[in-house]
A and B are shown apart, each in its own frame.
Chain A
């Protein structure tokens, strides 16, 4: 009875805390929503520490007619098995090109094909778990970027949308100990550079859409900015409440889900430079980013793009209008149609890897069971 009482009390306390936090958060979001049009991010270059060409926190995404446009999406699929003696990964990437025709369904083309057979990659390099994970990510990105390059070599899309970041997001510290990994990373970066250059030459817009982004770059910057706004009357109510614990815990998409209207984006801002110490002698590409709400009941997308041509603002407007045009069909799921199709084509089944492991095991004289790591072959579940 005493134990039950303790549990009940703990549950009550947790519930109360969550409820209080939610109410507090909601209040902050509502107040922020009220003042979002008064906030000019370019006005506080030092406090906000953000480079942007937009002078409004949120902008209406311009409507565009996609009839006659070629919109491409690229996604990859990976299945990884870490066995006792080696690692094996099945990787494939599919590019989907929709040629939108007026009053008709889009004409579709797949690169390299509708359901390509996955590459089977194995590594017997003595790598750590993190290194292996990085290697597989590199391999997947290589496959996806190669797909994009092929797309540009064979066709002239108006925009290429990558599933995920437009940057080769690898933690260099995790791979720097392995020459093999560094060489693979270099190869990947060269591919990205080629993709950017081809897009630049063809005047094809390029972007990556990140769904469920965990980034807190905006909320962190806002956290630093808000104290400077306390003297401005329109922000008085907002800064009056104890916003600090709220904003500390909020990710960008959590905040913006309530703050942005559908078909609205945040200001664009410089995210990073593509170059690093490996290729500092090569031309630079600046990578920009904004958040955009494409569906009423879905969290905003984080859209990243290299600034390849045109001005920052115009480029952001073009990309946002195109991505929004192919993402706004479903009020509950605001991902671009080309990415949904590419994801379905690229996705791999767990059973595909099982079959492969079984085949390899039988050829080398082991049972597939004995190849599994001990933690994966518990006799009891």
Chain B
């Protein structure tokens, strides 16, 4: 283990060192070493090395410690710094939070304080990789821990199997981070383990991935939302009821009878049917209550007018989902949230069903603006909420994982967010969102929470299952340049011309 001594543990006024905290004075000059908040340090003990993260940094200088003296000296017309060698009295004190102790039997919780006077040094990157639970080679490279120049490679399983959430205000770099994640997933070789990817692109931001200039275009299928069609014959009466919540239980039962009849008469014979066939059959049915029948037919007409229901599924999900490839559903042309929710519901329902039967590869579903699809609000206001919650709860067993992207975490379903075991948190300012994240993110402490508002664009905190401890990451530069976004001026000029 290489050592770079940078400081010495001191006895501080806050009863430290203690098992939760210790302070050290930086023994290097600022020119020799730049200590930064969030940096990791190690301190030797008899049982092993204690790894800690720098949680606070402050400078002290005896010449400037008394406000009255500073003011008094300034009255001479000279600054204190010009009278005394004040710079020689400037010290940097750091407070560090021990994360654990690296012993022969592994990483353990620290139950005793480090000793005052001990050397503080910067750990070797290999130690950090092991301690933080990162990958050396096969992981998803999402960026770096800047202070250590350490590439953050997240283990695929740890990051995705138990779902992830990317949360940030608009403009903090969510989409950028998603595209970096996509690049990593699409760059994986078969021997590394590849997943099929489904992305619901609400704003049409990711179409560039399929551009000819994109190095990934061979693995990308951009599918316009307008061409999506549900295979009516593959749907149950319950699904119709989800799409049109006003269909009553009795009507669902009647519809189910018709669908069952069609299954035997048509589907088993290799035929299919559409909503108009169902309506015709219902019209001829004299056993149903006429008023209930009329209403059901009305709801079915409404669904038929969405033009989403056809005789065959488009795209054919069973064939289009391939390992190492992505299908991007471009929903940017749709203004109706209901239609978008119906599409998300249908596609996820189908993928989940096919994964149960192992008919499609393990799949990662990325859902932009996910608060629109699984809001905390009532279920009848979000058609897709139920299937997203089901996948969040049970998807892990069938290797279908969710990556939820949202700028309003407080509006996201609690059930779904709590099932996302890894959170990539970028800049968030809304106090309600922050509070909500604090309650739903496991392993996030107060000091990390306080840092969220001060994150810069492209900076993120990764917390949860993918890492052993919360880490601050500078998201790496993406490789593709086909996702250029327009400025307001550019957009205005383009419209004018």
- Asked whether A330 and B76 contact (CB < 8 A) given A337-B84, A340-B84, the answer is yes
- Asked whether A104 and B62 contact (CB < 8 A) given A330-B73, A331-B72, A344-B89, the answer is no
Query: B78–A329 contact, CB under 8 A?
Result: yes
- Asked whether A108 and B78 contact (CB < 8 A) given A329-B83, A331-B72, the answer is no
Query: A328–B72 contact, CB under 8 A?
Result: no
Residues of A within 8 A of B72 (CB): 330-333
Residue B75 at the A interface, CB < 8 A? yes
Residue B88 at the A interface, CB < 8 A? yes
Residue B81 at the A interface, CB < 8 A? yes
Tell me which of A105, A332, A341, A344 has the highest count of chain B C-beta atoms within 10 A of its own C-beta: A105
Query: A331–B62 contact, CB under 8 A?
Result: no
CA gap between A9 and B325 in the complex, in Å? 98
A:92-107 near B, CB below 8 Å: 98, 104-106
Query: A106–B76 contact, CB under 8 A?
Result: no
CA gap between A114 and B73 in the complex, in Å? 24
Query: A108–B85 contact, CB under 8 A?
Result: yes
Residues of A within 8 A of B447 (CB): none
Select one of B69, B75, B82 contacting A105, CB under 8 A: B82
CA gap between A344 and B82 in the complex, in Å? 17
Query: A108–B88 contact, CB under 8 A?
Result: yes
CA gap between A306 and B214 in the complex, in Å? 87
CA gap between A82 and B497 in the complex, in Å? 93
A-contact 0/1 string along B61-92, CB 8 Å cutoff = 01000001100110110100111111111000
Taking CB as reference atom, which chain B residue is nearest A115?
A: B88
Instruction: Write the nearest CB–CB distance from A284 to chain B, whole angstroms.
Output: 38
Residues of A within 8 A of B85 (CB): 98, 105-106, 108, 341
B-contact 0/1 string along A104-128, CB 8 Å cutoff = 1110100000100000000000000
Residues of B within 8 A of A344 (CB): 62, 89
Instruction: Write the nearest CB–CB distance from B271 to chain A, whole angstroms.
Output: 93
Instruction: Write the nearest CB–CB distance from B67 to chain A, whole angstroms.
Output: 13
Residues of A within 8 A of B81 (CB): 105
CA gap between A117 and B27 in the complex, in Å? 17
CA gap between A98 and B75 in the complex, in Å? 21
B-contact 0/1 string along A336-366, CB 8 Å cutoff = 0100110010000000000000000000000
Residues of B within 8 A of A104 (CB): 82
Query: A331–B75 contact, CB under 8 A?
Result: yes
**Number of chain A interface residues as a range:** 10 to 19
Interface size of B by CB at 8 A reads 17
CA gap between A45 and B75 in the complex, in Å? 42
Select one of B69, B83, B89 contacting A337, CB under 8 A: B83
Query: B69–A330 contact, CB under 8 A?
Result: yes
CA gap between A333 and B76 in the complex, in Å? 12
CA gap between A98 and B68 in the complex, in Å? 24
Tell me which of B62, B78, B84 has the highest count of chain A C-beta atoms within 10 A of its own C-beta: B84
Residues of A within 8 A of B62 (CB): 344
CA gap between A238 and B84 in the complex, in Å? 43
Tell me which of A108, A330, A331, A337 has the highest count of chain B C-beta atoms within 10 A of its own C-beta: A330
- Asked whether A329 and B73 contact (CB < 8 A) given A104-B82, A105-B82, the answer is yes
- Asked whether A333 and B83 contact (CB < 8 A) given A328-B76, A344-B89, the answer is no
Select one of B69, B82, B86, B87 contacting A333, CB under 8 A: B69
Residues of A within 8 A of B78 (CB): 329
Taking CB as reference atom, which chain A residue is nearest B89?
A: A344
Taking CB as reference atom, which chain A residue is nearest B68?
A: A332
Taking CB as reference atom, which chain B residue is nearest A104?
A: B82
Taking CB as reference atom, which chain B residue is nearest A341?
A: B84
Taking CB as reference atom, which chain B residue is nearest A106?
A: B85
Taking CB as reference atom, which chain B residue is nearest A340?
A: B84
CA gap between A337 and B73 in the complex, in Å? 11
Taking CB as reference atom, which chain B residue is nearest A295?
A: B72
Instruction: Write the nearest CB–CB distance from A68 to chain B, whole angstroms.
Output: 15
Instruction: Write the nearest CB–CB distance from A87 to chain B, whole angstroms.
Output: 27
Residues of A within 8 A of B76 (CB): 328-330
Residues of B within 8 A of A105 (CB): 81-87
Instruction: Write the nearest CB–CB distance from B11 to chain A, whole angstroms.
Output: 9
Instruction: Write the nearest CB–CB distance from B413 to chain A, whole angstroms.
Output: 58
CA gap between A344 and B91 in the complex, in Å? 15
Residues of B within 8 A of A328 (CB): 76
Residues of B within 8 A of A332 (CB): 68-69, 72
Residues of B within 8 A of A340 (CB): 84
CA gap between A332 and B83 in the complex, in Å? 16
Taking CB as reference atom, which chain B residue is nearest A297?
A: B72
CA gap between A121 and B62 in the complex, in Å? 29
CA gap between A140 and B475 in the complex, in Å? 60
CA gap between A186 and B89 in the complex, in Å? 38
A-B contact pairs, 10 of them (CB 8 A): A105-B83, A105-B85, A114-B88, A330-B69, A333-B72, A337-B83, A337-B84, A340-B84, A344-B62, A344-B89
Q: A106-B83, A329-B78, A341-B85 are in contact. List 6 more A-B contacts (CB 8 A).
A: A105-B83, A105-B84, A329-B73, A330-B72, A332-B68, A344-B89
Q: Which of A's residues lie within 8 Å of B, judged by CB?
A: 98, 104-106, 108, 114, 328-333, 337, 340-341, 344
Q: Which of B's residues lie within 8 Å of A, judged by CB?
A: 62, 68-69, 72-73, 75-76, 78, 81-89
Please name the 5 residue pairs, one residue from A and one from B, whose CB atoms are nearest each other, closest first. A108-B85, A329-B76, A330-B72, A105-B82, A330-B73
